[in-house]
Structure 1
Amino acid sequence: MKKYIVLLSFSLLYACSSKSQETNFKEVFTLDKKHTEVSGMIFHAPTQKLWMLQDKGNPSELYVYSADGTFENTVIVNNQENTDWEDLSQDKNGNIYIGNFGNNDNKRKDLRILKVDAATIQSNSVNVSQETTFYYEDQTEFPPKKSNLLYDCEAFVATNEAFYLFTKNRSKGFDGAFYVYKVPNKNGSFKAEKIATLKTCDQYKSCAITGAALNKNGNEIAFLTHDKVLLIPFVNDDSFKQENITTKELGHNSQKEAITFKSDNQLFMADESEKGKKGGTVFMLDLN
């Protein structure tokens, strides 16, 4: 009898867990077959559309989708090379920022963030109105030793005053550490100031940071990995403390590289297509 009760309890627990997972994290739509390497995404507040970009080797373009998955437009970014575009962000005025800072080998010296003015984005092609170039204040070798490959970046958020960048650890002996840097939101060349070191976990495929998003109210940041979302309340530079992080397990592992808030309680995220595997999918996580 006791064995039966234990088995029944386990079955009920499993069923409830599965139901909760299905409710909180779900597939929303599949991207156009040409968009297999989406690495950055925003739910743009003024247009209420999803804007996306693809990474290295793809055209210098932005892609516009409706929230239900209808592909609507391609916007060409004039006179810019997609060296390695890795993330998108926006400020409270609806200006869009392109993070051209992918740095797999940790040896780039042309890291930059490109601004596209909100007033121009209804066109089929746009010009960049601001270029912010930067260098990491503590990087002295290009590339560093394999045990110190901490200067790739696939994630950032923008405020009206500054950019916050979150590095992707590619070091041999991965331990989950990533750096937080701050760069002024201005035209020109700047030192990226390291303001914090945080940790996820020690499994690279589960714990390397691949995307970030700031909510509309500007008081919470979400970090993305292949199978989890990390949340941190945001007020100022002192917010980046290990004890402030909470983790949401997705129960789903794929090459997720783009994340954005749809609302304070809902997150969109997208994964890339992997060879021989499904991908190019947009998911939603309900934080309630």
Structure 2
Amino acid sequence: MNRLIVLLGLIVCQACAQKPWHGNLDYLGKLPNKLNEVSGIVALKDRSLWVIEDNGNKDKLYQINLKGNLVREVKVENGKNHDWEDITKDRYDNIYIGDFGNNANDRKNLTILKIDKKQGFEDGKVSAKKIKFEYPEQEEFPPKKKNLHFDCEAFFHHGNSLYVITKNRARPYTGKAFIYKIPDTPGSYKAKLVGDFKTCTDSQFCSITGADISPDGKKIALLGSGFIWLYTDFSFDDFTQGKLKVIDVEYRTQQESICFLDNQTLLIADEQSKTKGRNLYRFKLPQNSE
């Protein structure tokens, strides 16, 4: 009897010692408590990582390391966080924050904040220049339920432009996303519609929540909650005419942030949701993903 108890105890201990399952994602670390709602992540050339949070959170950039630990906080002095939903960079490491979250499709103050890398982050504060834009196709604020196409949580930089990918909130849900092009210089613009595509028709997983382009410009990764849409062999402006590979990471959380660390490595962060999330992950692209 005593041997049986000991054996059962060993089995229980072994089960407790097993690592949590994260599907095909490699767990790197837990983000700090103050970063419950990370909505965007970017890796600069020096491999420093910067994240932001969305609506209701502070007007700050947060630097983290590859274990998810907080390194520093930087205040964006003139860039109120109405709904920051993604962050990207250009080839000079200037940072762009997408203040274009628009759940109700009723905003008229859509803005991208441009932060000049030359400012540095040592003072704990930066200022931003503003790129204001509107969707010419939107005529009502908000539009009818079937036309709720003007939310956004994803963009990336290429050339001298920012490519914004919308988040579908239409009812009934169609999975359709639109691609808009906006100049990367401060000013006010009408975004140019350059393409559209369908992901899938499950509203829980098929909406685009993040995006990035690889350092060599040969891959574009779009994120959903558990899926990556990877484009290669494309040309601009409508990159969706290229080759598409849909990757199921086999882990379902509120994944809203993605960036390339290098040409074959993606970093993904998710938001806290009940007992899951608030983690930093790595995903290695298959070698045949060219």
TM-score, with structure 1 as normaliser: 0.88
Pairs within 5 Å for 1:204-215: 204-215=203-214
Pairs within 5 Å for 1:94-243: 94-123=93-122, 124-128=124-128, 130-233=129-232, 234-241=234-241
In 2: Cα distance, 1:286 partner to 1:70 partner:
21
**Maintained 8 Å contact 1:90/1:159:** no
Is 2:287 aligned against 1:283?
A: no
In 2: Cα distance, 1:79 partner to 1:23 partner:
40
In 1: Cα distance, 2:229 partner to 2:81 partner:
28
Is 2:33 aligned against 1:28?
A: no
2:230 maps to amino acid: L
Pairs within 5 Å for 1:25-64: 25-45=25-45, 47-64=46-63
**Maintained 8 Å contact 1:24/1:287:** no
In 2: Cα distance, 1:89 partner to 1:254 partner:
22
| 2:101 match: secondary structure | coil
1:270 maps to amino acid: A
In 2: Cα distance, 1:239 partner to 1:88 partner:
20
In 1: Cα distance, 2:252 partner to 2:176 partner:
20
Give the structure with the higher percent helix: 1
In 1: Cα distance, 2:97 partner to 2:22 partner:
33
In 2: Cα distance, 1:134 partner to 1:80 partner:
15
Following superposition, the deviation at residue 121 of structure 1 comes to 2.9
Pairs within 5 Å for 1:56-75: 56-75=55-74
Unaligned runs of 5+ in 1: 1-20
| 2:205 match: secondary structure | helix
1:37 maps to amino acid: E
Deviates more, 1:51-60 or 1:210-219: 210-219
Unaligned runs of 5+ in 2: 1-20
CA RMSD of aligned residues (A): 1.5
| 2:204 match: secondary structure | helix
Task: Tell me how many residue pairs correspond in the alignment.
Answer: 264
In 2: Cα distance, 1:37 partner to 1:163 partner:
24
1:240 maps to amino acid: T
Identity of aligned residues (%): 37
In 2: Cα distance, 1:181 partner to 1:240 partner:
12
1:43 maps to amino acid: A
**Residue of structure 1 equivalent to 2:16:** none
Following superposition, the deviation at residue 146 of structure 1 comes to 0.7
**Maintained 8 Å contact 1:40/1:86:** yes
In 1: Cα distance, 2:49 partner to 2:244 partner:
27
In 2: Cα distance, 1:235 partner to 1:43 partner:
24
Following superposition, the deviation at residue 25 of structure 1 comes to 2.0
